[in-house]
């Protein structure tokens, strides 16, 4: 593959996941990832600060999608309806061709404590983005944080189901169903 070909970032992500799967996270080097992608180490560092971050490349995009969807929700939307719109926005980006990649990603993260820690940080960052967006809509605390937690939990629970190769349902459908279940569980607390 020529070094000048487009999609360097995506190629690096895919190469990293392949190598992490084949030889483990610890044994994989930045040079190895760059070589597998047909790129240079310098190109790698133009896109990512280290090998860990290559698996979390979409965090900022996802946080922005969530916040934008909440900002664009109708003014009459309840906090959970606005969160539902945000969950719809983020899950719509996961097409079926990403399912196998996502399953591999989950497996690699599950097998490494450093990556699990980074994944928890990402989850917290997404939850914070949702809560801040709700605050900007005038939703007070703790309502904003609780709605954010429910929405991000619905997303992650649905993502785990969706990444399972046996699943055939779209991620958006799974996430909406999961959010509805969580909403019902909260109502049952009274």
Global confidence as pTM? 0.89
Q: Apex CA 2: angle with CA 38 and CA 22, to 5°?
A: 25
pLDDT tens per residue, range 43-94: 999 999 999 999 998 889 999 999 999 999 999 999 999 999 999 999 999 9
143-173 core/surface letters (b: 16 or more CB in 10 A; e: else): ebbbbbbbbbebbbbbbeebbeeeeeebbbe
Residue that is written with structure tokens 């190469």 in the block: 15
Start-to-end CA distance of the chain, whole Å, equals: 60
Domains and CATH numbers, the chain: 8-54 (1.10.10.60), 58-187 (1.10.357.10)
Question: What is the widest separation between alpha-carbon atoms in the chain?
Answer: 61
- Cα 34 from Cα 42, distance rounded (Å): 9
Q: What is the pLDDT of residues 160-182, one digit of tens each?
A: 999 988 888 999 999 999 999 99
CA 116 to chain centre: 13
């Amino acid at each position: 593959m020529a070094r000048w070909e487009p999609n360097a970032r995506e190629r690096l992500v895919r190469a990293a996941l392949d190598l992490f799967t084949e030889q483990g996270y610890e044994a994989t080097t930045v040079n190895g990832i760059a070589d597998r992608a047909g790129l240079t180490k310098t190109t790698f560092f133009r896109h990512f600060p280290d090998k860990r971050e290559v698996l979390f490349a979409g965090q900022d995009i996802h946080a922005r999608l969530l916040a934008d969807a909440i900002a664009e929700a109708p003014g009459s939307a309840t906090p959970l309806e606005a969160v539902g719109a945000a969950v719809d926005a983020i899950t719509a980006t996961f097409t079926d061709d990403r399912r196998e990649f996502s399953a591999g990603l989950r497996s690699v993260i599950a097998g490494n404590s450093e990556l699990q820690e980074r994944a928890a940080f990402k989850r917290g960052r997404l939850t914070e983005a949702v809560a801040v967006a709700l605050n900007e809509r005038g939703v007070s605390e703790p309502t904003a944080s609780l709605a954010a937690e429910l929405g991000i939990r619905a997303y992650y629970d649905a993502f785990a189901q969706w990444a399972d190769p046996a699943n055939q349902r779209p991620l958006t459908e799974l996430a909406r169903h999961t959010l509805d279940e969580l909403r019902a569980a909260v109502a049952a607390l009274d």
